[in-house]
Amino acid sequence: MAQECRAGELIPLDRVGIVRWRGDDPEGAIAVLTDLRSAEGEVNPLLQARRSYRALAPDPIPHETLVRLVEAAHLAPSCFNNQPWRFVIAEGEALERVKAALSGGNYWAKSAPAILALASHRDLDCKLSDGRDYYLFGCGMATGLLMIQATQIGLIAHPIAGYDPLAVKEVLGIPKEYVLITLIVVGKPGDVSTLSGKHRAIELGPRERKPLSAVLAWNKFTDLSQTEGT
Ligand SMILES: Cc1cc2nc3c(=O)[nH]c(=O)nc-3n(C[C@H](O)[C@H](O)[C@H](O)COP(=O)(O)O)c2cc1C
Protein backbone atom coordinates (compact mmCIF):
# COMPACT_ATOMS: atom_id res chain seq x y z
CA MET A 1 0.00 0.00 0.00
CA ALA A 2 1.34 3.45 -0.94
CA GLN A 3 2.41 5.62 1.97
CA GLU A 4 1.02 9.12 2.37
CA CYS A 5 3.61 11.81 1.88
CA ARG A 6 3.66 15.56 2.29
CA ALA A 7 4.32 17.89 -0.59
CA GLY A 8 7.98 18.00 -1.39
CA GLU A 9 8.72 14.85 0.58
CA LEU A 10 10.40 11.82 -0.90
CA ILE A 11 9.31 8.44 0.44
CA PRO A 12 11.40 5.44 -0.59
CA LEU A 13 8.92 2.75 -1.61
CA ASP A 14 11.37 -0.05 -1.91
CA ARG A 15 15.03 -0.79 -1.70
CA VAL A 16 15.77 -0.54 -5.40
CA GLY A 17 15.25 3.17 -5.59
CA ILE A 18 11.59 3.71 -6.52
CA VAL A 19 10.32 6.83 -4.82
CA ARG A 20 7.01 8.62 -4.60
CA TRP A 21 6.92 12.41 -4.89
CA ARG A 22 4.00 14.74 -4.33
CA GLY A 23 4.53 18.33 -5.30
CA ASP A 24 3.82 20.88 -8.00
CA ASP A 25 7.22 20.59 -9.60
CA PRO A 26 8.36 17.19 -10.76
CA GLU A 27 11.71 18.86 -11.34
CA GLY A 28 11.97 19.32 -7.58
CA ALA A 29 12.01 15.55 -7.22
CA ILE A 30 14.70 15.24 -9.85
CA ALA A 31 16.80 17.90 -8.09
CA VAL A 32 16.50 16.11 -4.74
CA LEU A 33 17.35 12.77 -6.32
CA THR A 34 20.30 14.29 -8.11
CA ASP A 35 21.59 15.80 -4.86
CA LEU A 36 21.19 12.53 -3.02
CA ARG A 37 22.79 10.60 -5.82
CA SER A 38 25.75 12.91 -6.14
CA ALA A 39 26.30 12.58 -2.39
CA GLU A 40 26.32 8.80 -2.59
CA GLY A 41 29.50 7.47 -1.03
CA GLU A 42 30.22 10.82 0.63
CA VAL A 43 29.42 12.25 4.01
CA ASN A 44 25.92 13.74 4.00
CA PRO A 45 26.16 17.24 2.44
CA LEU A 46 24.21 18.77 5.36
CA LEU A 47 26.84 17.47 7.79
CA GLN A 48 29.54 18.95 5.61
CA ALA A 49 27.74 22.29 5.42
CA ARG A 50 27.03 22.61 9.15
CA ARG A 51 29.38 24.91 10.99
CA SER A 52 29.21 26.66 14.33
CA TYR A 53 29.02 30.03 12.64
CA ARG A 54 28.92 33.12 14.83
CA ALA A 55 27.86 35.95 12.54
CA LEU A 56 24.09 36.08 13.05
CA ALA A 57 21.42 38.37 11.61
CA PRO A 58 18.92 39.70 14.17
CA ASP A 59 15.94 38.89 11.88
CA PRO A 60 13.23 37.12 13.85
CA ILE A 61 12.72 33.41 13.27
CA PRO A 62 9.05 32.35 12.99
CA HIS A 63 7.75 30.29 15.90
CA GLU A 64 6.85 27.39 13.63
CA THR A 65 10.44 27.24 12.40
CA LEU A 66 11.77 27.12 15.95
CA VAL A 67 9.25 24.41 16.78
CA ARG A 68 10.37 22.48 13.68
CA LEU A 69 13.94 22.50 15.02
CA VAL A 70 12.77 20.96 18.29
CA GLU A 71 10.64 18.46 16.36
CA ALA A 72 13.80 17.32 14.58
CA ALA A 73 15.63 17.01 17.90
CA HIS A 74 12.70 15.06 19.32
CA LEU A 75 13.17 12.39 16.63
CA ALA A 76 16.52 11.41 18.16
CA PRO A 77 16.93 7.88 19.51
CA SER A 78 17.27 7.51 23.27
CA CYS A 79 17.86 4.72 25.75
CA PHE A 80 14.50 2.93 26.26
CA ASN A 81 12.99 5.80 24.27
CA ASN A 82 13.21 7.91 27.42
CA GLN A 83 13.51 11.20 25.48
CA PRO A 84 15.41 13.02 28.24
CA TRP A 85 15.67 16.37 26.40
CA ARG A 86 13.76 19.38 27.70
CA PHE A 87 13.93 22.54 25.60
CA VAL A 88 13.02 26.10 26.53
CA ILE A 89 12.96 28.68 23.75
CA ALA A 90 13.92 32.16 24.95
CA GLU A 91 12.59 35.20 23.16
CA GLY A 92 11.79 38.80 24.08
CA GLU A 93 12.62 39.81 27.64
CA ALA A 94 13.66 36.30 28.65
CA LEU A 95 16.07 36.26 25.72
CA GLU A 96 17.59 39.58 26.79
CA ARG A 97 18.12 38.23 30.30
CA VAL A 98 19.71 35.05 28.94
CA LYS A 99 22.03 37.18 26.82
CA ALA A 100 23.07 39.09 29.93
CA ALA A 101 24.28 35.76 31.37
CA LEU A 102 26.53 34.89 28.42
CA SER A 103 30.26 34.79 28.99
CA GLY A 104 32.29 37.55 27.34
CA GLY A 105 33.60 35.35 24.53
CA ASN A 106 30.03 34.73 23.42
CA TYR A 107 29.37 38.44 22.67
CA TRP A 108 28.42 37.38 19.11
CA ALA A 109 25.34 35.52 20.41
CA LYS A 110 23.81 38.85 21.53
CA SER A 111 22.49 39.46 18.03
CA ALA A 112 20.61 36.13 17.97
CA PRO A 113 16.82 36.36 17.57
CA ALA A 114 16.32 33.19 19.65
CA ILE A 115 18.25 31.00 22.04
CA LEU A 116 17.17 27.49 22.98
CA ALA A 117 18.09 26.11 26.36
CA LEU A 118 18.50 22.34 26.66
CA ALA A 119 18.16 20.93 30.14
CA SER A 120 17.88 17.44 31.52
CA HIS A 121 18.30 15.35 34.64
CA ARG A 122 20.03 12.01 35.03
CA ASP A 123 16.81 10.47 36.38
CA LEU A 124 15.16 11.14 33.02
CA ASP A 125 17.23 8.50 31.28
CA CYS A 126 18.98 5.14 31.70
CA LYS A 127 21.48 4.85 34.56
CA LEU A 128 23.63 1.74 34.27
CA SER A 129 25.57 0.22 37.15
CA ASP A 130 28.97 0.92 35.57
CA GLY A 131 28.34 4.65 35.59
CA ARG A 132 26.81 5.04 32.16
CA ASP A 133 24.29 7.82 32.62
CA TYR A 134 22.72 8.26 29.22
CA TYR A 135 20.87 11.56 29.56
CA LEU A 136 23.75 13.68 28.30
CA PHE A 137 24.28 11.31 25.39
CA GLY A 138 20.60 11.49 24.43
CA CYS A 139 20.60 15.27 24.63
CA GLY A 140 23.73 15.37 22.48
CA MET A 141 22.08 13.30 19.80
CA ALA A 142 18.98 15.48 19.90
CA THR A 143 21.17 18.56 19.50
CA GLY A 144 22.90 16.97 16.53
CA LEU A 145 19.61 16.38 14.75
CA LEU A 146 18.46 19.90 15.56
CA MET A 147 21.62 21.35 14.01
CA ILE A 148 21.16 19.33 10.84
CA GLN A 149 17.55 20.46 10.53
CA ALA A 150 18.71 24.07 10.99
CA THR A 151 21.35 23.65 8.29
CA GLN A 152 18.76 22.26 5.90
CA ILE A 153 16.65 25.40 6.21
CA GLY A 154 19.57 27.82 6.03
CA LEU A 155 19.76 28.61 9.74
CA ILE A 156 22.71 28.55 12.08
CA ALA A 157 22.27 26.58 15.29
CA HIS A 158 25.37 26.99 17.46
CA PRO A 159 25.57 25.14 20.79
CA ILE A 160 27.52 26.90 23.53
CA ALA A 161 28.75 26.15 27.04
CA GLY A 162 29.88 29.67 27.91
CA TYR A 163 27.19 31.17 30.16
CA ASP A 164 26.30 31.46 33.83
CA PRO A 165 24.12 28.35 34.27
CA LEU A 166 22.56 29.43 37.57
CA ALA A 167 21.51 32.77 36.11
CA VAL A 168 20.03 31.21 32.97
CA LYS A 169 18.20 28.54 34.98
CA GLU A 170 16.75 31.27 37.17
CA VAL A 171 15.61 33.33 34.16
CA LEU A 172 13.97 30.36 32.44
CA GLY A 173 12.58 28.66 35.54
CA ILE A 174 14.64 25.51 35.00
CA PRO A 175 14.68 23.53 38.27
CA LYS A 176 17.96 23.70 40.21
CA GLU A 177 18.44 19.92 40.12
CA TYR A 178 18.42 19.90 36.31
CA VAL A 179 21.62 20.25 34.29
CA LEU A 180 21.52 23.10 31.79
CA ILE A 181 23.52 21.19 29.21
CA THR A 182 23.79 23.80 26.50
CA LEU A 183 22.31 26.91 25.00
CA ILE A 184 21.71 26.65 21.27
CA VAL A 185 22.06 30.02 19.59
CA VAL A 186 19.85 30.24 16.52
CA GLY A 187 19.69 32.74 13.70
CA LYS A 188 20.15 33.43 10.02
CA PRO A 189 23.67 34.06 8.70
CA GLY A 190 24.70 37.67 9.37
CA ASP A 191 27.44 40.21 8.92
CA VAL A 192 30.93 38.79 9.44
CA SER A 193 32.35 42.27 10.12
CA THR A 194 30.59 42.25 13.54
CA LEU A 195 32.98 39.52 14.71
CA SER A 196 36.32 39.86 16.44
CA GLY A 197 39.38 39.27 14.25
CA LYS A 198 39.86 35.82 15.76
CA HIS A 199 36.27 34.79 15.18
CA ARG A 200 36.21 36.29 11.68
CA ALA A 201 39.23 34.15 10.77
CA ILE A 202 37.47 31.01 12.09
CA GLU A 203 34.24 31.97 10.32
CA LEU A 204 35.91 32.35 6.95
CA GLY A 205 38.55 29.67 7.40
CA PRO A 206 38.40 25.95 6.72
CA ARG A 207 36.87 23.58 9.23
CA GLU A 208 39.48 22.16 11.56
CA ARG A 209 39.51 18.52 12.56
CA LYS A 210 42.08 16.09 13.86
CA PRO A 211 42.99 13.46 11.31
CA LEU A 212 40.54 10.57 11.29
CA SER A 213 43.37 8.26 12.39
CA ALA A 214 43.41 10.12 15.73
CA VAL A 215 39.84 9.09 16.49
CA LEU A 216 39.33 5.83 14.61
CA ALA A 217 41.00 2.48 15.19
CA TRP A 218 40.24 -0.92 13.73
CA ASN A 219 39.95 -3.96 15.93
CA LYS A 220 42.03 -2.63 18.81
CA PHE A 221 41.75 0.55 20.80
CA THR A 222 44.59 2.89 20.02
CA ASP A 223 46.00 5.41 22.47
CA LEU A 224 44.90 8.60 20.76
CA SER A 225 47.84 10.62 22.07
CA GLN A 226 50.14 8.31 20.09
CA THR A 227 48.43 8.99 16.78
CA GLU A 228 47.38 12.62 17.16
CA GLY A 229 48.76 14.81 14.44
CA THR A 230 49.67 11.91 12.19
C1 LIG B 1 29.27 21.47 24.13
C2 LIG B 1 29.75 22.58 23.24
C3 LIG B 1 30.08 23.80 23.81
C4 LIG B 1 30.49 24.86 23.00
N5 LIG B 1 30.68 26.10 23.56
C6 LIG B 1 30.94 27.14 22.77
C7 LIG B 1 31.00 28.45 23.32
O8 LIG B 1 30.77 28.70 24.51
N9 LIG B 1 31.29 29.48 22.47
C10 LIG B 1 31.52 29.28 21.13
O11 LIG B 1 31.76 30.26 20.43
N12 LIG B 1 31.44 28.04 20.59
C13 LIG B 1 31.16 26.98 21.36
N14 LIG B 1 31.04 25.72 20.80
C15 LIG B 1 31.28 25.50 19.38
C16 LIG B 1 32.61 24.78 19.14
O17 LIG B 1 33.67 25.69 19.35
C18 LIG B 1 32.62 24.22 17.69
O19 LIG B 1 31.61 23.24 17.60
C20 LIG B 1 33.96 23.59 17.35
O21 LIG B 1 34.96 24.59 17.30
C22 LIG B 1 33.92 22.89 16.00
O23 LIG B 1 33.50 23.77 14.99
P24 LIG B 1 32.26 23.45 14.03
O25 LIG B 1 31.07 23.21 14.92
O26 LIG B 1 32.09 24.67 13.17
O27 LIG B 1 32.62 22.23 13.24
C28 LIG B 1 30.63 24.66 21.60
C29 LIG B 1 30.31 23.42 21.04
C30 LIG B 1 29.86 22.40 21.84
C31 LIG B 1 29.45 21.09 21.20
Q: What is the pLDDT of residue 25?
A: 64
Which tens digits make up the pLDDT trace of 159-184?
999 999 999 999 999 999 999 999 99
Which tens digits make up the pLDDT trace of 46-70?
999 999 999 999 999 999 999 999 9
Q: Is the pLDDT of residue 111 over 50?
A: yes
Distance 160 CA to ligand 1 centre (A): 6
Q: Is the pLDDT of residue 11 over 60?
A: no
> What are the start and end residues of each CATH 3.40.109.10 domain in the chain?
48-195
Q: What is the pLDDT of residue 40?
A: 74
Which tens digits make up the pLDDT trace of 92-106?
999 999 999 999 999
Distance (Å, whole) CA 114 – CA 58: 9
Say if CB 186 and CB 113 are below 8 A apart.
Answer: yes
Give the helix/strand (H/E) hosting 186.
strand 179-189
Q: Is the pLDDT of residue 143 over 90?
A: yes
Residue nearest atom 11 of ligand 1, based on CA coordinates = 106
Residue nearest atom 18 of ligand 1, based on CA coordinates = 52
Distance 111 CA to ligand 1 centre (A): 17
Ligand 1: which atom is nearest the Cα of residue 109?
Answer: 11
At 128, phi and psi to the nearest 5?
-100, 155
Domain 48-195, what fold? NADH Oxidase (3.40.109)
